[in-house]
Amino acid sequence: MNRESHIFEPMISEKIILGIDPGTTVMGFGIISIKKGKMEMVSIHELLLKKYPNHETKLKYIFDKTLALIDEFHPDEVALEAPFYGKNVQSMLKLGRAQGVAMAASLYRNIPITEYSPKKIKMAITGNGNASKEQVAGMLQNLLNLKEFPTKYLDASDGLAVAVCHHFNSGVIAGSKSFSGWESFLKQNPDRIK
């Protein structure tokens, strides 16, 4: 028997990443797959939240949409954009709640989550931490070989950017937070326990 036929060939695996850009008006979701090191867009979604009457209803739809996408695409990992610290405390609080609900849905399905700052995401995609949403979308179109961008909402492209950023940062992730479940989240955030 030929000796070379016994050489171990590694299994070819696929990884699915769900990227989420939390929002209270439009929430963006981008799903990519990585096969043999090649990145490909699987799907992109936006959840339009303007039409819902109150913040509580919006949070329910965010949870439901996140769970639905997880159940449909079975991501191995979820990456979220961390809320930025703005001057409007009420807006930041609402944005943090939207992110928290998406995190809860991911943890409910036992999917590890990682947070990235907006600057880190822009830097990973464009090389410029102060890039515009349009520049990020243009670079994503190039990176993912898209003929045209599949959505008019840049929040949806931001969800895709979070997923791509996570792929680029797989392995050693400095400056981001990862959680593999509720226990892990609580250990890394003891100040959130009452």
Spell 75-96 as b/e; 16+ CB within 10 A means b.
Answer: bebbbbbbbeeeeeeeeeebbe
Cβ atoms of 81 and 165 closer than 8 Å: no
Angle at 168 between CA 37 and CA 31, to 5 degrees: 75
- For residue 186, the model assigns a pLDDT of 58
Cβ atoms of 143 and 164 closer than 8 Å: yes
Residue 21 annotated as binding site? yes
Residue 76 annotated as binding site? no
Residue 64 annotated as binding site? no
Splitting the chain (194 residues) into consecutive groups of 10 residues, what average pLDDT does each group show? 42 84 92 93 93 92 97 97 79 89 96 95 94 91 86 82 94 50 59 54
3-state secondary structure 114-148: EEECHHHHHHHHHCCCCCCHHHHHHHHHHHCCCCC
Positions marked catalytic: 21, 81, 155
- For residue 30, the model assigns a pLDDT of 95
